[in-house]
Amino acid sequence: MNFKKDEDTDELGALMNLDHSAVLQEARIFNQTPIRPRHSRLLLAKILFLLYRGDSMPTTEATNLFFSITKLFQCKDMSLRQMVYLTIKELSTISEDVIMVTSSLMKDMQPKSEITYRANAIRALCKIVDPSMLPGIERFIKSAIVEKTPAIASAALVSSLHLFGEAKDVVRRWANEVNEALNGKAISQGPSFFGGSNPNQVVSTSNIVQYHAIGLLYAIRQHDRMAVLKLVQGFSGQNKSSSWMGGSGATLRSNMAYVMLVRYAVRVMENDPSLVPQLHVLLEEWIRHRSDMVSLEAARAMCQLRDVTAKQLTGAVNALQVFLSSPRPTVRFAAIRTLNTLARTHPEAVQPCNVDMEGLITDSNRSVATFAITTLLKTGNEASVDRLMKQMQGFMTEISDEFKTIVAEAVRSLCRKFPGKHSVFLAFLSGVLRDEGGYDFKRSAIEAIVDLAKHVPECKEAALAHLCEFIEDCEFTKLSVRVLHFLGEEGPHTARPSMYIRHIYNRVVLENAVVRAAAVSALAKFGAAAVADPSLQRSVRVLLQRCLDDREDEVRDRAAWALRMAGGERTRDKYVRDDSTFVLAVLERKLVEYCADSGAAARGRFSFDSVPRISRAQEEETRARTRLETMDAVLTGSAISAPSASKSATATSEPGTPAAASAGFADVYEQQAQYVSKLNAIPELAAFGAQPLVSSQRAVDLTEAETEYVVRCVKHVYEAHIVFQFDVTNTIPEQVVEQVEVAMEPEDDISDVLQPVVVVPIPELRCDEPGTAYVAFERVDTDTFPSAAFACTLKFVVKECDPATGEPEEGDEGFEDEYSLEAVDLGAGDFMQASYLPDSHALWETLGADAECVETFALANFDSIAECVARVAELLGMCPLEGALTPKSKAAHQAVFTGKWMGTTKTVARTRMTYQKGTGVTMELAVRSEDQGVSELVVSAIA
Q: What is the DSSP string of 211-229?
A: HHHHHHHHHHHTT-HHHHH
Specify the pTM. 0.64
Q: Directed axis angle between helix 366-379 and helix 401-417, to 10°? A: 10
Report, as an integer, the average pLDDT of 205-222: 84
Report, as an integer, the average pLDDT of 279-287: 89
pLDDT of residue 530: 64
Interatomic CA distance for residues 743 and 458, integer angstroms: 61
Per the DSSP assignment, residues forming a β-bridge with 756 are: 777
Report, as an integer, the average pLDDT of 879-884: 80
pLDDT of residue 739: 92
Report, as an integer, the average pLDDT of 472-501: 89
**Length of the chain, please?**
943
pLDDT of residue 296: 94
Q: For every residue of 34-103, which 3-state class applies, written as one string?
A: CCCHHHHHHHHHHHHHHHHHCCCCCHHHHHHHHHHHHHHHHCCCHHHHHHHHHHHHHHCCCCCCHHHHHH
Q: Where are the alpha helices (DSSP H) in 511-577?
A: 513-528, 534-546, 553-565, 569-575
pLDDT digit string (tens) for 411-451?
887 777 777 888 888 888 888 888 888 888 898 889 889 88
**In Å, what is the CA distance from 452 to each residue of 429, 445, 446?**
11, 11, 10
Identify the residue with better confidence: 195 or 369. 369
Identify the band that residue 157 occupies on the pLDDT scale cut at 50, 70 and 90. very high
Interatomic CA distance for residues 265 and 225, integer angstroms: 11
Interatomic CA distance for residues 921 and 892, integer angstroms: 9
pLDDT at residue 926 is higher than 50: yes
pLDDT of residue 722: 92
Report, as an integer, the average pLDDT of 521-529: 85
Mean pLDDT of the chain: 81
Identify the band that residue 3 occupies on the pLDDT scale cut at 50, 70 and 90. very low
pLDDT of residue 574: 66
pLDDT digit string (tens) for 585-598?
778 878 887 888 88
pLDDT at residue 237 is higher than 70: no
Q: What is the DSSP letter of 201?
A: P
pLDDT digit string (tens) for 92-148?
888 888 777 877 887 777 766 677 778 888 888 888 887 778 887 888 888 888 888
pLDDT of residue 121: 86
Phi, psi of 460 (to 5 degrees): -60, -50
Interatomic CA distance for residues 840 and 615, integer angstroms: 11
3-class secondary-structure state, position 765: strand
pLDDT digit string (tens) for 669-686?
777 778 888 888 888 888
pLDDT digit string (tens) for 442-460?
988 898 898 888 888 888 8
Residue 404: name the closest of 382, 373, 358 by CA.
373
Radius of gyration of the chain (CA): 34
Q: For every residue of 409-464, which 3-state class applies, written as one string?
A: HHHHHHHHHCHHHHHHHHHHHHHHHHCCCCHHHHHHHHHHHHHHHHHCHHHHHHHH
Identify the band that residue 791 occupies on the pLDDT scale cut at 50, 70 and 90. very high
Q: Directed axis angle between helix 207-221 and helix 150-163, to 10°? A: 20
Identify the band that residue 532 occupies on the pLDDT scale cut at 50, 70 and 90. low
The CB density around residue 74, as the number of other CB atoms within 10 Å, is 10
pLDDT digit string (tens) for 159-178?
899 888 888 888 888 888 88
Report, as an integer, the average pLDDT of 392-416: 77
Interatomic CA distance for residues 847 and 163, integer angstroms: 69
pLDDT of residue 632: 54
pLDDT of residue 647: 39
Report, as an integer, the average pLDDT of 792-799: 93
Interatomic CA distance for residues 194 and 150, integer angstroms: 12
Range of lowest pLDDT (192-196, 295-299, 811-815): 192-196
Interatomic CA distance for residues 254 and 861, integer angstroms: 56
Report, as an integer, the average pLDDT of 831-854: 86
Interatomic CA distance for residues 210 and 252, integer angstroms: 7
Interatomic CA distance for residues 766 and 729, integer angstroms: 8
pLDDT at residue 332 is higher than 90: yes
Identify the band that residue 16 occupies on the pLDDT scale cut at 50, 70 and 90. low
